[in-house]
Chain A
Amino acid sequence: MKKNEFHEEFIKGIWRDNPVFVQVLGMCPMLAVTNSAINAIAMGMATFFVLVGSSFLVSTFRHLIPKQVRISCFIIIIATFVTIADYTLLALVPAVHKELGAFIPLIVANCLILGRQEAFASRYPTKLAVMDAMGMASGFLLALLSLGSVREILGDGALFGMKLFGENFEPWVIMILPPGGFLTLGVILLFFNWFRLKKDEFLEDVAAAERGGN
């Protein structure tokens, strides 16, 4: 196994196959808890722990799990890790745990996690699966953080609880309410669309130039 391959599995989750911006998975926690940057980080870390832990177990036991009941097995493994994360957060940061509320147990239902078990961890060796999980989880954390920061800055005029603007700033309260989540993510996806269109145009130009040259 080359070192390059590990690197590749890690990087793809952060940019090329970013779970949120490209694959549009795991939207529920994504939108529900990103009304402040702190919440976004707590949710991102919890998801990171659950995804890496369950990918490790699933990939280690992938030959033992019968095909017919694999989904149920994955879900039980995931649910166990989520319960651990739930109780750990409750013990360490009770305030954040209260804020996130029912959305911590709902990590179980994050399609990103089950999707990775089904598509990757159950087919590849442990090392690769862990790398893949770490990449995907980092991409997810990054997406949560960017959405959470934008919403907190616009909706509350603050970042990590610190006020950024003077007294005159009128917060866009709508941004920390549910519609703000949809709108912010919509605009971020617009940016990604624009980026992809530009890239396609560029590639076409290069191809045309090469044909012309020959």
Chain B
Amino acid sequence: MDNLLWIFISALLVNNFVLTYFLGLCPFLGVSGSLETSARLGLATTFVMLVTAVCAWVLNTYVLIHAPYLRLICFIVVIASTVQFIEMLIKKLSPALFRAMGIFLPLITTNCAILGLAIFATNRGYGFWEGIVYALGAGIGFTLALVLLAGLREESELSNIPKLIKGTAMNLIIAGVLSMAFMGFAGLFSSA
């Protein structure tokens, strides 16, 4: 039980996917313009991550033992089909959300956070429940980083900033400061 909690907190804060591993930066910088969209994208990504974790576990346990060199291709095909399925689902259920996410929904497929999750979980030899908890932590951590940046960006839209620094440059510097703040969590477990 302790172990599961540790995995969760570690993926959520200490080794936050976006701010420490630089995974999933494209949506992080692209979609984080508004709080609403980033929260929804975060949820969608978390969901895809959970599905990915289950798929990765099944593939690792039953298929890839026999052919480890197919790992990458297998993962990516399974993830791509899952995302395609979710895309169809969202298009059907909520056209507004579909429009809001625009190009970034198909790009969840090429979201490194998703593939990174599958690969990290495999490298660390996580079992079924560990994988699920890891995915949950990583997904919520991703959402957290996305929402934090979106909040800061919305705020900065209204303030008077030099034209020079506007845009991606400023977002990256904000992300740098956020990342520094998250480094503070690194000491969370070393003493315990």
Contact = CB atoms under 8 A, between A and B. Distances in A.
A134 B109 CA distance: 24
B22 A178 contact: yes
Given A71-B106, A102-B116, A106-B112, A185 B72 contact: no
Contact of A186 (B20, B84, B163, B176): B176
Contacts of A101: 123
Given A32-B21, A106-B112, A109-B115, A179 B180 contact: yes
A111 B163 contact: no
Given A189-B168, A197-B163, A108 B177 contact: no
B11 interface: no
B110 interface: yes
Interface stretch (B46-54, B73-81, B135-143): B73-81
Interface string A8-33: 00000000000000001101111110
Interface residues of B, number: 47
Interface string B68-90: 01011100110011001000000
Nearest to B27: A111
Interface residues of A, number: 44
A193 B176 contact: no
Contact of B73 (A76, A174, A192, A193): A76
Contacts, number: 125
Q: Which of A80, A114, A186, A190 has the most CB of B within 10 A?
A: A186
B7 interface: no
Contacts of B183: 177-179
B22 A186 contact: no
Interface of B: 19-26, 29, 69, 71-73, 76-77, 80-81, 84, 106-107, 109-112, 114-116, 119-120, 123, 163-173, 175-177, 179-180, 183
Interface of A: 24-25, 27-32, 71-72, 75-76, 79-80, 82-83, 86-87, 101-102, 105-106, 108-111, 114, 174, 177-183, 185-187, 189-190, 192-194, 197
